[in-house]
Amino acid sequence: MAAPVSDRLIDLLGDLASLATPDEATTAAPGLLERLADDCGAAACQLDTALTHADDPQEPAFQTVASVGYSPEVSSHLCADLAPSPHGRRVLAASSGLRIDEDDPYDFRSSEHYLDVLHPAGYDDGISIALRDSGAHLVGLLHLSARSTRDFAPELVGALPPLGRAFARLTTVATCSTPDVTLPPEYAVVRLDAAGRPTPVVGRAPLHLVVDADLLGIVRAILGTGTRFATFLHQQAGQLVEVRVHCPSGRAATRQPCTVATRPAASTLGLTLRQLEVLTAVATGAGNREIADELCLTQRTVAAHVEAILARLDSRSRAGAAAKATAAGVLLPSADPDSVRSLARVLQQPVA
């Protein structure tokens, strides 16, 4: 029978549950791993997150969130080499953590991982846990290593299930994958501080574009409206990219932290880039003359574009077409706040 979970581990679980933002999660992770090591008798702990943009879910790739006690060589091995191996696949398939212990039921001590890496580093016992979210999706791995099979605390076995769930939540928060952020795995993600400086997000690929003055201008226009979520298209270096902005505060301020995510544009609703520009202006409430002046077109050409847009989107009105495009996230805004294609004007303009 497993020993009762200690008060210290219960406190650790409570602190893990209190983490609410990616910054909190990534900042707190090393200290939480140190506490876990102290409380359960481990000499080293490591938390790896499954890369959300990995091409093959059968061969997941990992990135280290935090590592305590391991040398760089051992840490790199656990992150890159263990999961693809036969023993790693056992860990990924297990419903709970796998341990070497005295009996070594999985013959781990005969593996190259133990003989060439872990044993020379002084570890004789260890546990690896596959971390899964509430939907049973793999989100990471947690490794614990001990100098001796007698070092792990007796209550560790009973604490493994709640620890696994708690550290799975930490990885989902750190990777901006919690439900309130709504950023599916295929999106690359960064966090912007109030000055517009990007910080990489663990487990996420770099953005598909550069955070330049134009993009930052659009993002700040969104933040200034108090909108929590906005999706739009942006063209840079000849590539059309879908951009999502998440403002956790929901307050109207052009300079505040936010999350920006990108992926290659999946759809333009069948519209050309010029038609998207016209439609974006339509969504702000601009008339044909304003649109023609900004885009250097004739009013007749603008009218023809609008007619084609309405036909393509099967909409009876300009407002209806704008609403469809806004909901689909295919508007192509300008960074100029005075432009008839300003996304701030779109978000402040009733389109229903």
Q: Rounded distance, CA 158 to CA 197, Å?
A: 43
Dihedral of alpha carbons 315, 320, 324, 326, sign: positive
So what's the pLDDT on residue 349? 53
So what's the pLDDT on residue 352? 38
Q: Answer for the pair 191, 258: CB distance below 8 angstroms, yes or no.
A: yes
In 3D space, the residue among 29, 160, 38 whose CA is nearest the CA of residue 91 turns out to be: 160
Provide the 8-state DSSP code for 108: G
Question: What average pLDDT does the segment 244-264 reach?
Answer: 90
Q: Look up residue 282 and give its two tokens.
A: 């339509």
Please report which confidence band the pLDDT of residue 350 belongs to, taking 50, 70 and 90 as the band edges: very low
Q: Does residue 251 sit in the same domain as residue 274? A: no
Higher-confidence residue of 159 and 303: namely: 303
Q: Does residue 145 sit in the same domain as residue 20? A: yes
Kindly report the average pLDDT of the chain as a whole number.
Answer: 89
Q: Does residue 112 sit in the same domain as residue 248? A: no
Domain around 68 = 7-174
Q: Answer for the pair 173, 189: CB distance below 8 angstroms, yes or no.
A: no
Please report which confidence band the pLDDT of residue 299 belongs to, taking 50, 70 and 90 as the band edges: very high
Q: Does residue 79 sit in the same domain as residue 122? A: yes
Dihedral of alpha carbons 204, 130, 85, 77, sign: positive
Query: Is 2 among the domain residues?
Result: no
So what's the pLDDT on residue 1? 45
Q: What is the pTM of this model?
A: 0.73
Query: To which H or E segment does residue 192 belong?
Result: strand 188-192
Question: What average pLDDT does the segment 135-148 reach?
Answer: 92
So what's the pLDDT on residue 53? 53
CATH of residue 214's domain is 3.30.450.20
Query: Is 180 among the domain residues?
Result: no
Dihedral of alpha carbons 68, 69, 73, 79, sign: negative
pLDDT digits over 308-340, tens only? 999 999 998 999 999 999 889 999 999 898 899
Work out the angle at residue 85's Cα, subtended by the Cα atoms of residues 143 and 107, and round it to the nearest 5 degrees. Answer: 75
Q: Answer for the pair 275, 308: CB distance below 8 angstroms, yes or no.
A: yes
Domain count within the chain: 3
